[in-house]
Structure 1
Amino acid sequence: MPSLKEVRNRIVSVNSTTQITKAMKMVSAAKLRRAQDAILQMRPYATKLNELIATVSANTEVGATSPFTTVRQVEKVLVVVVTSDRGLCGAFNANIIKAALAVINEKYPTQAAKGNVEILALGKKGGEALQRRSFKVNDTYMSIFQNLNFAHARSAAEAIMTAFSEGKYDVVELVYNEFKNVATQILRVDQMLPLVDKKADASKASKIDYIFEPSEEEIVLELIPKAIKMQLYKAVLESNASEHGARMTAMDKATDNANELLRALKIEYNRSRQAAITKEILEIVGGAEALKGD
C-alpha cells in the first residue's frame, strides 16, 4: 500500500490535470462556436458554386478545355493532408494520417515505390508524422492554421493549381475531416485535381438554352479555379471546426476520467489514513498494556 504522502502527491497532481483539461475544454468550446459559424456560412456558397458549374458544364463543352480537367496517366501524385497544429484532440490527427497512408498504399503503390508521391501538409501534426515515415513533405503551408483566412487558403490552392497545370503532378488527393457535430467528424478523401466530370452531377438537369454574358468560355473557365479554391478553403474550415470539436470532446472525457481517478485516490487516501490511525492506536494500547504488566 502506498504511503499517505505518495497518495497526497497523486491527488494534487490529478487536481492540477483536471483544472488544465477543464480550461482546455472551455477554450475549445469558445473557438468551436466561431469555427462552426464560419463553416456553416461557407457550405451553401460552395454547394451552389458546384451546382452552377455542374449545370453549365452539362450544357456546354467549354469545361473540357480547362487545364484543371485534363486527365493524364498518373505518374506523380500530390496528397494534401489537413491536420491540426496541436495534439490532445483524440484520434483526430491519427485518423487523417491513416487515411492518407491508405490512399497512397491502395491507389498509388507503384508511384509510392518510385518516390513519386509528395505530401502537402496543412497543419503540423500530419506533416511531422509523414516526414517520419520518409515521405517527401512540402511544409510551405504547414502553419496555415496560425492565421486562418481565405487569402492563405487561396495561395495554397493557386500553388497546387499551377503545379498541376505545369505537369508537376498528375493527380491531387485531398484528405480532411468534415465537421458533423461536436462528437462526430467524418473522414473525407476527395480528388481535388483533375476535376471530376461535373456532367454526371447534372444528369437530371434538362437541357437549357443559356444566353451567356460574357462568353460561356470566360464564365466556365473563371468558375473552375474559383471552385478549386473554395474546395480547399472549405476543407480547411471543416478541419478547423472538427479539431475544436474533437479537442472539446477529448478534454471532457479526460476531465471525467480525472474525476474518477480523484475519487478512487481519495478513497485510497482515507483507507490508508484510517489504517495508519488504527496502527497508532494499537501501538499505544500495546504500550500501555506492556507498562501495566511491568
Structure 2
Amino acid sequence: MASLKEVRNRIVSVNSTTQITKAMKMVSAAKLRRAQDAITQMRPYATKLNELISTVSANTEVGATSPYTKVRPVENVLIIVVTSDRGLCGAFNSNVVKATLALIQEKYASQAAKGKVEIMPLGKKGGESLQKRGFKVNAEYMDIFQRLNFATARQAAEQVMEAFTEGKYDVVEIIFNEFKNAATQIIRAEQMLPLVEKKNDNSNAGKTDYIFEPSEEEIVLELMPKAIKMQVFKAVLDSNASEHGARMTAMDKATDNANELLRTLKIEYNRSRQAAITNEILEIVGGAEALKAQ
C-alpha cells in the first residue's frame, strides 16, 4: 500500500490535471461555436456551387475542354492532408493519417513504391506524422490554421491548380474530417483534380437547355477554379470545427476519468489514514499494557 504522502501527492497532481482539462474543454467549446457557425454558413454555398458545376458541365461541351478536367495516366499523386496543429483531441489526427495510408495502399501503391506520392499537409500533425513515414512533404501551407482565412486557402488551391495544369501532378486528393456535430467527425476523401462529372441518378432526366450570359465558356471556366478553391476552404473549415469538437469531447472524457481516479485515490487515502491511525492506537495500547506488566 502506498504511503499517505505518495497518495496525497497523486491527489494534488490529479486535481491540477482536472483543472487543466476543464479549462481546455471550455476554451474548445467557445471556439467550436464560432467554427461551427463558419462551416454551417459556408457549406450550402459550396454544395450548390459544386452541383451547378456538375450540372452545367454535364449539359455543355465546354467543361471537357477545361485544363482542370483533363484525365492523364496516373504517375504523380498529390494528397492534401488536413489535420490540426495540436494534439489532445483524441483520435482526430490519427484517423486522418490512417485514412491517408489506406488510400495510398488501395489506389496508389505502385506510385508510392516509386516515390511519386507527395503529401501537402494543412496542419502540422499530419505533416509530421507522414514525414516520419518517409513521404515527400510540401510544408508550405502546413501552418494554415495560424492564418485561417479564404485568402490563404485560395493561395494553397491556386498553387495546386497550377501544378496540376503544368503536369506536375496527375491526380490530387484531399482528406479531412467533416464536421457533423461536437461528438462526431466523418473522414472524407475526395478527388479534387481532375474534376469528375457526378452521375445523375435520375435516368429520366434529359439534357437541360441553358441560356448563358455572358457566354457558356466564360461562365464554366470561371466557376471551375472557384469551385476548387471553395473545396479546399470548406475542407479547412470542416476540419477546424471538427478539431474543436473532438478536443472538447476528449477533454470532457479526460475530466470524467480524472474525477473517477480522484474518487479512487481519496478512498485509498482514507483507508491508508485509517490504517495508520489504527496502528498508532495499537502501539499506544501495547505500550500501556507493557507498562502495566512491569
Scaled by the length of structure 1, the TM-score of the pair is: 0.98
Structure 1 residues 204 and 47, CA gap change in structure 2 (3 angstroms): farther
For 1:209, give the aligned amino acid.
Answer: D
Structure 1 residues 247 and 158, CA gap change in structure 2 (3 angstroms): same
SS of alignment partner, residue 125 of structure 1: helix
- What aligned pairs does 1:6-85 form with structure 2 within 5 A after superposition? 6-85=6-85
Q: CA deviation at 1:205?
A: 4.5
Preserved contact between residue 81 and residue 100 of structure 1 (Cα < 8 Å) = yes
- Who is 2:112 aligned against? 112
Preserved contact between residue 118 and residue 135 of structure 2 (Cα < 8 Å) = yes
1:112 and 1:123 map into 2 onto residues whose CA distance is: 22
2:258 and 2:42 map into 1 onto residues whose CA distance is: 38
1:63 and 1:199 map into 2 onto residues whose CA distance is: 15
SS of alignment partner, residue 127 of structure 1: helix
SS of alignment partner, residue 260 of structure 1: helix
For 1:117, give the aligned amino acid.
Answer: V
How many residues align? The count is 294
- Who is 1:152 aligned against? 152
Scaled by the length of structure 2, the TM-score of the pair is: 0.98
Report percent identity of matched pairs: 82
2:204 and 2:15 map into 1 onto residues whose CA distance is: 60
For 1:55, give the aligned amino acid.
Answer: T
Q: CA RMSD in A?
A: 1.1
- Who is 1:126 aligned against? 126
2:137 and 2:212 map into 1 onto residues whose CA distance is: 43
Q: 1:91-125 CA distances to partner (integer Å, 9 max, x unpaired)?
A: 00000000000111111111001000000000000
- What aligned pairs does 1:1-294 form with structure 2 within 5 A after superposition? 1-198=1-198, 200=200, 205-294=205-294
Q: 1:216-274 CA distances to partner (integer Å, 9 max, x unpaired)?
A: 00000000000000001000000000000000000000000000000000000000000
SS of alignment partner, residue 175 of structure 1: strand
Structure 1 residues 44 and 23, CA gap change in structure 2 (3 angstroms): same
Preserved contact between residue 57 and residue 198 of structure 1 (Cα < 8 Å) = no
2:66 and 2:168 map into 1 onto residues whose CA distance is: 17
Deviates further, 54-63 or 248-257: 54-63
Structure 1 residues 36 and 109, CA gap change in structure 2 (3 angstroms): same
Preserved contact between residue 177 and residue 238 of structure 1 (Cα < 8 Å) = yes
2:171 and 2:122 map into 1 onto residues whose CA distance is: 18
2:165 and 2:200 map into 1 onto residues whose CA distance is: 23
For structure 2, the residue ranges without an aligned partner over 5 or more in a row are none
For 1:171, give the aligned amino acid.
Answer: V
For 1:196, give the aligned amino acid.
Answer: V
SS of alignment partner, residue 68 of structure 2: coil
1:141 and 1:79 map into 2 onto residues whose CA distance is: 13
Preserved contact between residue 120 and residue 138 of structure 2 (Cα < 8 Å) = yes
For 1:245, give the aligned amino acid.
Answer: G
Q: CA deviation at 1:208?
A: 2.8
Q: CA deviation at 1:55?
A: 2.1
Preserved contact between residue 122 and residue 143 of structure 1 (Cα < 8 Å) = yes
SS of alignment partner, residue 233 of structure 2: helix
Structure 1 residues 266 and 204, CA gap change in structure 2 (3 angstroms): farther
Q: 1:197-224 CA distances to partner (integer Å, 9 max, x unpaired)?
A: 1464786644332221111000000000
SS of alignment partner, residue 68 of structure 1: helix
SS of alignment partner, residue 209 of structure 1: coil
